[in-house]
Every structure is written in C-alpha cells, then in structure tokens.
C-alpha cells in the first residue's frame, strides 16, 4: 500500500509540479504566520513579530529545497532540470560542443562499426542449430600444415569413427550452365549426401540428397540456391523435376535451399550436386588425391579433443578392410577443429588487431573530451562557487557535471550510430570478398546495445574526472579569486591526460607503421614473373565433342593461334594454373633415384604451352624451356622450379634426372630445364616447388585452361583493353564456351594483398584520427596554460625575458608532455604490437626504423601544436597584463 | 549537510515517533505539531520546519498519515495531518521499541555509575 502511495503521490507531484509547489509554499507561509501570530498574542508588535518568526524559522528557501529534495519524483524532476540546464550550457558554447560531440561520435561510431563487423564473424555462433558441435577435419602433412583430405582416407574415417553423428566431404565445382540464357559458369559444390544434414539445414522446396544419389554414375541431380533460383529460373515454383543442362549433361533439379541458408564453407556457392565418388578404386584413382574438405557434426557429449584423439587413433592403426596408399597413409594424424575457428582462422588476427586499434581510438577520444571538459571546468569555477554558496550540495554539483558529460556522450553516441552505419557500409564495400559471413555484417540490435553501453561508460568516465577535480578544490576560496589566477591541480590532471593521449596515439601509429612497412616489403618480394601488361582469362571447356584428349588439345591450340593473331597482342600462352589466381594444383612427386623411399614430396603442376615462360617473363636458369617438339608420344620432359630442384636433388645437377608426378604410371619425366621460382598462393607464402610440363605430355589434357596474353608495349592502351578482341578471338573457335575469370595480372596481384591492404587502411585511418586528437590535445593544454599564466608571463617579460625565452618556456612544456607520452607509448608499443605480429611480413614487430619514424612524426605534430600557443605567449604585452591586475 | 543541522535538535531517528505521538491526540497542522513538541518537551527539542515538513511527507507516503486542507479557527487555510490505522500501529511499534532501548541505555548508565 505504501509503495502504491509513493507511486501515485509522486506521480501527482510530477504531473502537477506547480500545484505541489504552491501547496508547499502555502504550508510554509502558514507556518510563519502561525509563529508570528503566537508572538503577537504575547504582545509583540506585528512587524517585529514577523521578523522574529522569520528568524526563528530560518531561510525559507533552504527549507523549501529540503522538502522538495524528498521523494523519487524529485530525483526525476531534478534530472530533467539538469538536462535542461546542460542543454542550455552546451548550446551557449557551440564550438566546444561541436568539437566534443564530433570527437565522441567518431570514437563511438568507429568502434560500433568495427564491433558490428567483428561480432558476427568472430563471436556469434554460426547460423546453424547446435553450431558448436560442427567440426572441420583436415589431414596433417609431414611439416604439420593443414592439407585437404583424400576420399580414400575420408571413407575409412567415416566408417570407423564413433565421434561423428554425421559427416560429409565436399569440393568446389564450377559447372557451366546452358539454356535459353547466355552460357554461364556457376560456382557450386559437389558434396557428400550428408552435407546439408550435417549443417542442420534442408531444402525449402523439394528434397535433400540421399545416399542413393551419392554413388558413382548415380543420378544427375542438383539443388539450387535461393539466389540462383530467382536469378536464373525466375523463381519458377515448378522448378523441382525440371531439367537443367550443366556441362552439356542433363541434370534434374530436386530442391531449392531457403534464402536464409548461409553457407560458411563456400559463401559463393549457388548449386550443389552429389560427390559420387567410387566405393572401390585402385591406387591411381582420383579418390586418393588430397582435394576434399570434410565437415562433421560431433555426437552429443563428444568434445573436439575427444574426436581428435579418436581420429588419430584410427589413423595410427590401419585395418585390412581399408587400403591406404603411400601418399595418403594418415601417418601424421588429422586436425579436428571447430567449424567456426576454421572459417575465421585467416581473418581472426586482423580482426582482433583492428578491434584493438579502434579501442585505442575510442580511448583517445575519451581522453580528449575529458580534457576539454577539464578546461571548461576551470572557466566555470566561479559559477560553481556561486552555486555552492547559495546552498547547492557537492552531490548536486557532481550530478550536474555528470549529466552534462552523459548528455554529450548521448548526442555523440546518436551521431556515432550514423557514423557506424556509414562506416559499416564502407567496411563491407572495402573488405575482401572472401571475408566469411560478410552478409551478417550490419548495425544490428547487438551493435546498438554495444553503442549504448559504450556511450554510457564514456559519459560517466569522461565526466567523473572533471567532477572529482572540481570537488577536490576548495571552492569557497575561489569565490573571491573568481578563478582568475588559478593554476595547479587541474593543469596537472590535464597534463597527465595529454601524456596518455600521446602514448596511445604512438601505439596506434606504430601498429599502422608496421603494417605499412609489411606491405612495402611484400611489394618488394620478387613474385617471379613480370605482372605488368598481362591479361588472363579462363576457358571452361564443356561439351560432348570435347570428351577426348585430342579434341581438347586441338581446341586449345586453335584458340592460341587465334589469340596470337589479335592486333595488340605481343605474345600469348596457355596454362592450367595462373599464379595468384587463388587456385592450387598439387600432386605427389616420386624421384627415380629414391624409388624405395616413400617420399610424399608434393609439387605444384603447371601444364603450359611452351611459350609460357617467355610470355610471363619467368627466367629459365639452366637447360632449356619446353618447346613445340615436346608433344604426346615424344619423350616426357619437364622444367622444374629452383625450389623443386633444390629440394629433390640438392647440389646435384638436376638436368637429366627423372621423376613421376601424380598417378604413378606412364613414362618418367626427365628434367630438361630449371626455371625461376614463382609465388603461387600469395606474396607472403614461399614459392612452391613447381613442375612445368606441356599439356600434351601430361596424363590428361585439362578441360579448363587459361590464356595469358601480353599486350604490345606502347600499343593501344593497357592489357585490359585487349579483353574484348581476345574474347572474340576465343569465341571465333567455338561460341558455346564460357570464358570466365577475366583479370589483368596486376589485378590479381592487388587482390592477393586485399585483406592486408584492408587492415592497413583501417589502421591508417585510426592512426590519422589519433594523430589529430593528440595534436589538438597538446594544443589545448598549452593554450589553456598560456591563458592562465598570462600574468606570470607578463611579469617575466617585464623582468627582461625575451620573446625567445617565452617561446622556449611554452614549447619546452610541450616537449616535456610529448616526450613523456612518447616514452610511455614506446613501452606500450613494445607490448601492444604483439596484437599485430601475426599480420606482419618481413619486418619485426620491434622494427627500430618504424618506431623511430613514428615517434618523429608525433614529435613534429607536438611541436606544431606547441608553436601556436608559444607565439601567442611571446606577444603578450607586459604593461597590459600588469595594468589589468 | 542539511540533514546534520536538522537532527542536532531532535534525537536522531525519533522525529517520526514524536510526530506520530503528537498526532495521536488530534489532527494538527505543521506549526501546531512543532509547537506541541517544543512545549511538551519544555523546549528540549526544537523542530526545524524543513525537516518537519519532509518528515510529514515521508510519513504520509508510508501510509501512516493522511492530510487535508481545512479552515482553521481564525478561518485560514491550513494543511491538517491525522493518523491512519497503520499510523496507530506504527506508533505502538515505535513506542515499544523506544521503551526497550531507553531502558537498556538506562541500565547501562546505572551499572557504569
């Protein structure tokens, strides 16, 4: 009941403030009247009685305030009053308000944007049911790296393990779809029958794959993504059961996945078909190639460690039922990792580093605004002294100050959300396309909650320092001095804050500097070929007429002839594998001289037209390049890379050595030449051991080959301008073939460092913001210091200090602040750069040159920030300041 | 700060009880309560109006008092407070509690002497 009374009476007061105030005034007036009446009754004259009564009762205002401060409704109405007052103050100082709000908006907005990107990718569970039980299984090579799984091994593991509730192997698949529309190459996957079931998803229309689909020469069935179904098939509701021509073969659509299905293992996949690998196969079958990835759902209660142990146990104990081959003996065990960790492994270090960087920016923004508030607090000392003299409590003033800072933070935070929305859009646009879960990145409720939390914390923290500072001072004595000559306490606090700001900025800039140097180092890496002026495009050969090796060989040599005839093309070649394209093509190598050793040395295979070396600018260091005589039937020859020669033959002469690559059948390849190393996967991965053979001498003629063409130097425009004529030349052989992945070599080079550049851009932006904030921070403190010390400086000038002395005085103080910040920051950077060490390339995280140049940059900014107040101080007229005393 | 001043005159925590006791005789307005407490205590207790009115608000919110504006004898408007049933009960509780404590203090002082 009393709670109800509290609520209703308080509410009534809140709604009818005026009436409640009048009541209170009436009651107080009545109180005084009664007291006076009593005195009059005792015989005192009326005027004296009133005065005596007033005296007895004391200050009416204080009494009224005391009563008014009781009750919850008064807490609220005081808060509203505080907010109104704070708003008025902020409006009266538009410059201060704008700077503070923009600083906070940048800090809160940037951190919310980064949080929006990092949270769904790294921390939120994957969009599947019981996603924490999803695992990825990969083979472990002899050097401990992750390798794709061979089907033969997968089959054995799947049959023997008890850790998995279900599992599926899968690989990329790029069928060319024909039909009424233009032929088009699709991105898809061939998957084991249990793939969708393992992920815990199912088609929204039609049915899932079943075991009977997934057998050799099983039915040609496909499941479409929602996007493909809408785009290519006009969202046809009767799609299930229809026929689609893929790679010239009829396929039946059996289902469509829901729009909500997010495929984290292959974000771009639009179409799925069963894997259809054999259950019985010989040692030279594709089932023994390491080219599958495996996803598994752990049984309830089985941990990743349990599963890993069990799988390794199986790997160590072969059984007669399951054959193994020398290059897939499972001798090094397997990795069983959570799917989430696997999907984010590549991006995790960069994301955490960026998260750290934006945290620093937010901190610096807070420090800066705190500093601004402190400076203003100094100006407002007289105001607060007055309010205290009039009876405001310290608690009341503190609440007022906190209200102001929280209000600033709230406005900054609201603007920050706008910044975050724009920032997230920019992030998504800038980010490398391979970034997992790109679609999940947006400013959602979680990000909003994050922004609100950050805003609140920022508001309280930023306001607490000035409030404490204010309360520490003895305000009573300030009233007379009117804050005129005050220095000391708050100046020290501000100096400390600026030092912190410089230190934080230095840490951030060192990170940015190290990343910048890494990128420079990467560009300095010899990639092994001359990327300028090169254009590449891939032909995915499909069609009944190209089933035989000889037909495919004839087609590609026709294409090459036509491409060479294009005006503007200086030279052209074909290759099965384009460097930096993101593709890998690895086969096991066996040396003739190590016939008994079960070497599992692997090599990257390039099936190339003889002119490839010349077109790419890859030097042939020993022996000869491939040539037109190395055709099918001629003695099998190969050019190997320097790394291959070194690893396989050591210091022996590689020329004339013989080896086998891939299926252990057919004639040996004889080494006829050694070529320079070429980076295949990326700049920061060492060049692989590579083997070059002609397409005609490989075990088969590849169905997909890439054209590489070099434009004539000084010819019409750059390599990209050759796209149309070359494409027409290719289509003049066969109009039905899909041409895909058209790119200049320079574009591939840039793409291979896209994620690095992305991280660098963010660090640079944050670093710049930090530099600006630190500079304004130093400026603010020194400038404030000069204002407060005008008299002292005037006295110094009057006593004979030259302008140079005074400039020295102010700049010296700036130097002390910056110097202390730099030393602190260098220490912080030594520790903090651990966060970026995984992103560095060819540069130590303690690289002295970077530290030095960044420190010099900050020192320069500090000097600049000191110069302005110093010059102002030097212009102070001693006569003026002394007279004004 | 204000709190400290207010309670130097009336023993800490006893103002509520004194108000309840005073009102148990008859409904009264604020000044009447203050005067009554001063008179009965022979000016041992002085009541500050700020504290008194705050306490009245608090007691009313707690449901121990009700209030209404009425005409006084000399036909002026004044706010009169009177005890509710819950207020009567509360007075009993506080009186008992006070008696228990006072006798305990008295015993202590006696044994000391």
Q: How many residues does chain B have?
A: 113
Could you report the per-residue pLDDT of A68-120, keeping only the tens digit for each? 777 777 778 778 888 898 899 889 888 888 888 999 999 999 999 999 888 88
Check B76 against A66: CB less than 8 A apart.
no
Q: How many residues does chain A have?
A: 885
Min Cα–Cα distance to chain A from B98, Å: 23
Interface of B with A in 15-74 (CB under 8 A): 29-32, 34-35, 48-51, 53-54, 57-58, 60-63, 74
Q: How far is CA B53 from the centre of its chain?
A: 11
- For residue A850, the model assigns a pLDDT of 92
Check A28 against B49: CB less than 8 A apart.
yes
* pLDDT average, residue stretch A774-793: 82
Work out the number of other CB atoms within 10 angstroms of the CB of residue A877. 11
Given a contact cutoff of 8 angstroms between Cβ atoms, the answer to whether A488 and A378 are in contact is no
At B57, is the secondary structure helix, strand, or coil?
Answer: helix
- For residue B9, the model assigns a pLDDT of 53
Given a contact cutoff of 8 angstroms between Cβ atoms, the answer to whether A592 and A656 are in contact is no
- CB-nearest partner of B29 from A10, A30, A64: A30
* Cα gap A738→A95, rounded to integer Å: 61
Dihedral (C-alpha) A189, A193, A198, A203: value to the nearest 10 degrees? 70
Residue corresponding to tokens 């107080």 = A28
- Which chain B residues touch A31 with a CB distance below 8 Å? 30-31, 34, 49
At A136, is the secondary structure helix, strand, or coil?
Answer: strand
What ipTM was estimated for this complex?
0.80
* pLDDT average, residue stretch A326-346: 86
- For residue A885, the model assigns a pLDDT of 55
Cβ of residue B85 closer than 8 Å to a chain A Cβ: no
Could you report the per-residue pLDDT of A567-585, keeping only the tens digit for each? 889 999 999 999 998 888 8
- Which chain B residues touch A2 with a CB distance below 8 Å? 61-63, 86
* pLDDT average, residue stretch A844-864: 92
* Alpha helix stretches (DSSP H) within A16-59: 17-41, 46-57
- For residue A490, the model assigns a pLDDT of 65
Min Cα–Cα distance to chain A from B106, Å: 33
- For residue B2, the model assigns a pLDDT of 38
Mean pLDDT for chain A overall: 86
> For strand A569-575 and strand A704-711, is the pairing parallel, antiparallel, or unpaired?
antiparallel
CA-nearest residue to A2 within chain B is: B62
Q: Of B31, B59, B75, which to mutate for an interface test with A (greatest number of A Cβ within 10 Å)?
A: B31
Q: Is the pLDDT of residue A471 over 60?
A: yes
Q: Is the pLDDT of residue A268 over 80?
A: yes
Could you report the per-residue pLDDT of B79-105, keeping only the tens digit for each? 889 889 988 998 999 899 889 988 998
Range ranked top by mean pLDDT from A42-51, A293-302, A318-327, A743-752: A293-302
Could you report the per-residue pLDDT of A130-175, keeping only the tens digit for each? 999 999 999 987 777 788 888 999 999 999 999 999 999 998 887 8
Q: Which of A292-306, A347-361, A436-450, A699-713 has the lowest mean pLDDT?
A: A436-450
Closest C-alpha to A531, from A309, A757, A718: A718
- For residue A284, the model assigns a pLDDT of 64
Q: Is the dihedral of CA A116, A119, A121, A125 positive or negative?
A: negative
Integer angstrom CA distances of residue A97 from A88, A787, A883: 11, 20, 34
DSSP annotation of A608 reads B
* Alpha helix stretches (DSSP H) within A431-444: none
- CB-nearest partner of A67 from B29, B53, B74: B53
A333: left (phi over 0), alpha (psi -120 to 50) or beta: left
Could you report the per-residue pLDDT of A185-218, keeping only the tens digit for each? 788 999 999 999 999 999 999 999 999 999 988 9
Helix B30-40 crosses helix A17-41 at what angle (to 10 degrees)? 40
Cβ of residue A33 closer than 8 Å to a chain B Cβ: yes
> Which of the pair, A119 or A54, is modelled with greater confidence?
A119
- Which chain A residues touch B51 with a CB distance below 8 Å? 66
Closest C-alpha to A376, from A278, A246, A299, A466: A466
A357: left (phi over 0), alpha (psi -120 to 50) or beta: alpha
- For residue A417, the model assigns a pLDDT of 92
Work out the number of other CB atoms within 10 angstroms of the CB of residue A844. 12
Check A30 against B79: CB less than 8 A apart.
yes
Cβ of residue A31 closer than 8 Å to a chain B Cβ: yes
Given a contact cutoff of 8 angstroms between Cβ atoms, the answer to whether A125 and A131 are in contact is yes
- For residue A717, the model assigns a pLDDT of 53
Min Cα–Cα distance to chain B from A107, Å: 40
DSSP annotation of A714 reads T
Cβ of residue B77 closer than 8 Å to a chain A Cβ: yes
Interface of A with B in 389-448 (CB under 8 A): 393
Q: Of A11, A25, A26, A34, which to mutate for an interface test with B (greatest number of B Cβ within 10 Å)?
A: A34
Q: Is the pLDDT of residue B10 over 70?
A: no
Check A5 against B62: CB less than 8 A apart.
yes
Q: Is the dihedral of CA A148, A153, A157, A159 positive or negative?
A: positive
- Which chain B residues touch A1 with a CB distance below 8 Å? 63, 86
Interface of A with B in 34-93 (CB under 8 A): 34-35, 37-38, 57-58, 62-67, 70-71
Q: Which of A10-19, A255-264, A496-505 has the lowest mean pLDDT?
A: A10-19
> Which of the pair, A623 or A800, is modelled with greater confidence?
A623
Residue corresponding to tokens 């807490």 = A75
pLDDT category at A484 given cuts 50, 70, 90 is very low
Closest C-alpha to A707, from A875, A575, A847, A567: A575
Give the DSSP letter string of A384-413. Answer: HHHHHHTT--HHHHHHHHHHHHHHHHHHHH
Given a contact cutoff of 8 angstroms between Cβ atoms, the answer to whether A534 and A719 are in contact is yes
Cβ of residue A852 closer than 8 Å to a chain B Cβ: no
Give the DSSP letter string of A359-387. Answer: HHHHHHHHHHHHHHHHHHHHHTHHHHHHH
The Cα angle at residue B31 between residues B26 and B34, in degrees rounded to 5: 80
Question: At a CB cut-off of 8 Å and minimum separation 6, what does A812 contact?
Answer: none
Could you report the per-residue pLDDT of A416-468, keeping only the tens digit for each? 999 999 988 888 887 776 666 777 778 888 888 898 898 889 888 888 888 87
Work out the number of other CB atoms within 10 angstroms of the CB of residue A799. 8
- The residues with which A184 forms a beta bridge, in sequence order, are A177
* Cα gap A678→A689, rounded to integer Å: 9
Q: Of A13, A61, A70, A72, which to mutate for an interface test with B (greatest number of B Cβ within 10 Å)?
A: A70
Mean pLDDT for chain B overall: 81
């Amino acid at each position: 009941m009393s709670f109800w009374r509290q609520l209703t009476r308080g509410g009534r007061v809140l709604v009818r403030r005026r009436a409640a105030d009048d009541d209170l005034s009436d009651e107080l007036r009545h109180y005084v009247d009664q007291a006076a009446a009593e005195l009059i009754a005792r015989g005192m004259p009326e005027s004296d009685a009133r005065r005596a009564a007033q005296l007895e009762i004391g200050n009416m205002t204080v009494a009224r305030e005391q009563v008014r401060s009781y009750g919850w409704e008064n807490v609220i109405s005081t808060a509203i009053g505080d907010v109104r007052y704070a708003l008025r103050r902020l409006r009266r100082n538009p410059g201060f308000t704008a700077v503070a709000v923009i600083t906070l908006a940048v800090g809160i907005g940037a951190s919310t944007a980064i949080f929006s990107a990092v949270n769904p990718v790294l921390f939120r569970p994957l969009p599947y049911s019981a996603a924490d039980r999803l695992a990825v299984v990969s083979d472990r090579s002899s050097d401990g790296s992750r390798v794709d799984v061979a089907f033969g091994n997968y089959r054995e593991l799947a049959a023997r393990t008890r850790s998995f509730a279900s599992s599926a192997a899968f690989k990329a698949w790029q069928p060319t779809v024909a039909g009424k529309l233009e032929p088009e190459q699709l991105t898809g996957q061939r998957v084991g029958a249990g793939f969708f079931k393992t992920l815990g998803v199912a088609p929204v229309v039609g049915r899932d794959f079943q075991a009977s689909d997934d057998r050799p020469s099983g039915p040609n069935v496909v499941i479409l993504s929602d996007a493909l179904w809408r785009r290519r098939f006009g969202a046809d509701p009767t799609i299930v059961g229809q026929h689609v021509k893929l790679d010239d073969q009829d396929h039946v659509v059996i289902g469509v996945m829901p729009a909500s299905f997010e495929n984290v293992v292959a974000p771009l996949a639009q179409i799925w078909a069963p894997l259809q690998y054999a259950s019985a196969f010989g040692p030279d079958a594709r089932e023994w190639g390491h080219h599958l990835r495996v996803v598994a759902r752990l049984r309830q209660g089985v941990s990743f460690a349990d599963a890993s142990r069990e799988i390794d146990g199986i790997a160590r104990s072969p059984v007669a039922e399951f054959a193994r081959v020398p290059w897939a003996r499972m001798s090094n065990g397997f990795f069983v990792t959570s799917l989430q960790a696997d999907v984010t492994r590549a991006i995790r270090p960069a994301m955490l580093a960026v998260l750290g960087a934006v945290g620093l920016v937010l901190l610096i923004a807070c420090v800066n605004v705190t500093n601004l508030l402190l400076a203003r607090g100094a100006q407002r000392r007289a105001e607060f002294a007055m309010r205290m003299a009039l009876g405001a409590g310290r608690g009341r003033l503190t609440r007022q100050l906190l209200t102001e800072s929280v209000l600033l933070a709230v406005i900054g935070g609201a603007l920050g959300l706008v910044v975050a929305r724009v920032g997230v859009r920019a992030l998504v646009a800038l980010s490398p396309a391979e970034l997992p879960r790109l679609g999940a990145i947006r400013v959602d409720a979680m990000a909003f909650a994050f922004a609100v939390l950050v805003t609140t914390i920022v508001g309280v923290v930023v306001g607490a320092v000035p409030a404490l500072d204010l309360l520490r001072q003895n305000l009573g004595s300030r009233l007379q001095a009117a804050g005129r000559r005050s220095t000391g306490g708050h100046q020290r606090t501000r100096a400390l804050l600026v030092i912190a700001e410089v230190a934080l900025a230095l840490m951030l800039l060192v990170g940015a500097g190290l990343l910048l140097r890494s990128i420079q180092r990467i560009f300095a890496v010899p990639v092994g070929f001359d990327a300028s002026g090169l254009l590449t495009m891939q032909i995915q050969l499909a069609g009944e007429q190209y089933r035989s090796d000889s037909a495919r060989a004839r087609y590609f040599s026709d294409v090459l002839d036509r491409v060479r005839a294009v005006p503007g093309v200086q030279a052209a070649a074909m290759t099965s594998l384009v460097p930096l394209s993101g593709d890998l093509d690895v086969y096991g190598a066996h040396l003739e001289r190590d016939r008994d050793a079960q070497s599992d040395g692997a090599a990257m295979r390039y099936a190339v037209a003889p002119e490839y070396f010349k077109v790419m600018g890859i030097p042939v260091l020993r022996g000869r390049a491939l040539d037109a005589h190395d055709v099918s039937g001629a003695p099998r020859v190969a050019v190997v890379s320097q790394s291959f020669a070194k690893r396989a033959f050591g210091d022996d002469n590689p020329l004339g050595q013989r080896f086998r690559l891939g299926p252990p059948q057919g004639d040996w390849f004889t080494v006829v030449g050694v070529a320079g190393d070429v980076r295949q996967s990326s700049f920061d991965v060492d060049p692989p051991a590579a083997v070059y053979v002609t397409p005609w001498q490989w075990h088969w003629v590849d169905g997909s080959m890439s054209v590489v063409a070099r434009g004539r130097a000084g010819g019409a425009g750059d390599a990209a301008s050759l796209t149309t004529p070359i494409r027409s030349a290719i289509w003049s052989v066969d109009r039905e073939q899909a041409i895909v992945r058209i790119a200049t070599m320079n574009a591939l080079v840039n793409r291979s460092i896209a994620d690095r550049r992305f991280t660098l851009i963010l660090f640079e932006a944050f670093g710049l913001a930090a530099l600006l904030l630190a500079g304004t921070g130093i400026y603010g403190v020194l400038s404030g210091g000069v204002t407060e010390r005008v008299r002292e400086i005037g006295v110094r000038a009057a006593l004979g200090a030259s302008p140079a002395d005074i400039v020295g005085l102010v700049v010296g103080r700036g130097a002390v602040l910056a110097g202390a910040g730099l030393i602190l920051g260098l220490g912080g950077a030594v520790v903090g750069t651990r966060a970026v060490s995984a992103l560095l390339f060819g540069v130590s995280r303690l690289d002295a040159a970077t530290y030095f140049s960044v420190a010099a940059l900050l020192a320069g900014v500090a000097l600049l920030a000191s110069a302005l107040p110093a010059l102002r101080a030097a212009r102070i007229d001693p006569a003026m300041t002394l007279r004004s005393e | 700060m204000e709190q400290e001043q207010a309670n130097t005159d009336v023993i800490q925590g006893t103002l509520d009880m004194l108000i309840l006791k005073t009102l148990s005789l008859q409904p009264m307005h604020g000044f009447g309560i203050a005067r009554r407490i001063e008179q009965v205590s022979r000016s041992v207790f002085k009541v500050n109006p700020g504290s008194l009115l705050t306490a009245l608000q608090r007691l009313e919110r707690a449901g121990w008092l009700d209030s209404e504006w009425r005409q006084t004898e000399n036909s002026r408007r004044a706010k009169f407070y009177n005890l509710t049933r819950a207020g009567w009960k509360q007075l009993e509780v506080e009186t008992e509690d006070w008696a228990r404590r006072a006798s305990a203090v008295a015993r202590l002082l006696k044994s000391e002497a």
